[in-house]
Amino acid sequence: MDLFGGIESGGTKFVCAIGTATGEIKEEIRYPTTTPDESISRAIAFFQKAATQGRTLKAIGVSSFGPLDPHPTSPKFGYVTTTPKPGWMNTDFVGRLHTTFPDLPVGFDTDVNGAALGEYRWGVAQGLDTFIYLTIGTGIGGGAIVNGKPVHGLMHPEMGHVRVPHDLAADPFPGMCPYHGDCLEGLACGPAIEARWQQRGETLAPDHPAWALEAHYLALGIVNFIVTLSPQRIIMGGGVMDQHHIFPLIHQEVGSLLNAYIHAPQILEHIEDYVVPPGLGNQAGVLGAIALAQTALTIG
């Protein structure tokens, strides 16, 4: 049986796992993200220990917070590049893995492209070829699969930083993106909810006005993505989306903003199956990393 290693490198936690070609997790550890040295060394130690127990890997996949360099031909491939996360700027993530495991192919992509790939293989995007995966949490990110492949292009998509209309009279909160102020992430990430209402999101009642406003901003972003990429489905994960009561608000707002312009029954009649939670739950990220490992093995 072929085994693959996956590392989900998140802003607050690392998840490392060993999984099969069919996405079955055999072993997993989770720990808080600290320095690059410590965090990556713990992942390496986990895989080395598994190898001594007979669990030899075919490839490793890393899905990481970014920005990062996902282009295999680039000199900076495998680096977390200009991240504002303290200590992580210019971290050669893949290089460290190659030093210990010189013969293993390593796949490397954004956390959201990874999660999208996992959903494509084993989750709610099976059978689709063009869709997006959004995470709404500490930040907002979006991964896109187009014609069956993660989109990279110039770098990789940064959908959280689209500009959305901001009515300062209705919502005087200035936004908190360090680069743009009131971009989508600046207005609608988890910390923005807490800063605006002076209360953590998960403690706000489902009928609190915070949620209608949150759904409004997220729907504005989603409508931009629908008209740009023509996705067949939109998957929404991350800590904020654990508040499942926000989904119907988003469905209603997306429909209202599109105003029947996109004539697709998926949106007009079945929007609850169009904007959906991840099918892989809290394993979407690490299964995405395992999917990246499999892709790395296939393309060499």
Residue 216 sits in the site that holds Zn ion (CB under 5 A): no
Residue 179 CB, shortest distance to Zn ion, in Å, is: 5
Residue with smaller CB distance to Zn ion, 189 or 210: 189
Query: In the chain, how long is the greatest CA-to-CA distance?
Result: 62
- Three-state secondary-structure class, residue 46: helix
- Binding span for Zn ion by CB under 5 A among 41-49, 62-70, 100-108, 169-177: 169-177
Binding test (CB under 5 A) with Zn ion, winner from 96, 156, 161, 216:
161
Q: Which is nearer to Zn ion, 189 or 250 (CB)?
A: 189
Distance (Å, whole) CA 77 – CA 87: 19
SS3 276: strand
Output 177 or 292, the one with its CB closest to Zn ion: 177
> How many residues of this chain bind Zn ion (CB under 5 A)?
5
The span of 137-145, 158-166, 255-263, 281-289 binding Zn ion (CB under 5 A) equals 158-166
Task: Of 273, 166, 161, give the one whose Cα is nearest residue 217.
Answer: 166
Coil, strand or helix at 107: strand
Write down the least CB distance from residue 221 to Zn ion, Å. Answer: 12
Q: Is 219 exposed, middle or buried (0-12, 13-18, 19+ CB in 10 A)?
A: buried
- Shortest spacing between CB 49 and Zn ion, in angstroms: 40
How many residues are recorded in the chain?
A: 300
| Cβ distance to Zn ion smaller for residue 145 or 240 | 240
CB of 137 to Zn ion, least distance (A): 15
Tokens of 100: 């210990």
Q: How far is the CB of 27 from Zn ion (least distance, A)?
A: 37
The kind and range of the H/E element at 266 are: helix 265-268
Nearer to Zn ion, 102 or 165 (CB): 165
Rg over CA atoms, the chain:
19
Single out the residue of 247, 249, 238 nearest to residue 281, CA to CA.
Answer: 238
Residues 24-63 that bind Zn ion (CB under 5 A): none
Q: Which range, of 37-45, 103-111, 156-164, 219-227, touches Zn ion by CB under 5 A?
A: 156-164
**Quick one: which of 84, 231, 82, 62 has its CA closest to 145?**
231
Q: How near is the Cβ of 115 to Zn ion at its closest, in Å?
A: 20
The pair phi, psi for residue 146, each rounded to 5°, is -125, 125
Instruction: Choose between 144 and 183: whose C-beta lies nearer to Zn ion.
Output: 183
Nearer to Zn ion, 58 or 180 (CB): 180
Considering only residues 177 through 196, tell me which ones interact with Zn ion, judged by CB under 5 A: 177, 179-180, 183
Q: What's the CA gap between 286 and 7, in Å, rounded?
A: 6
CB of 83: closest distance to Zn ion in angstroms? 14
Binding site for Zn ion (CB under 5 A): 161, 177, 179-180, 183
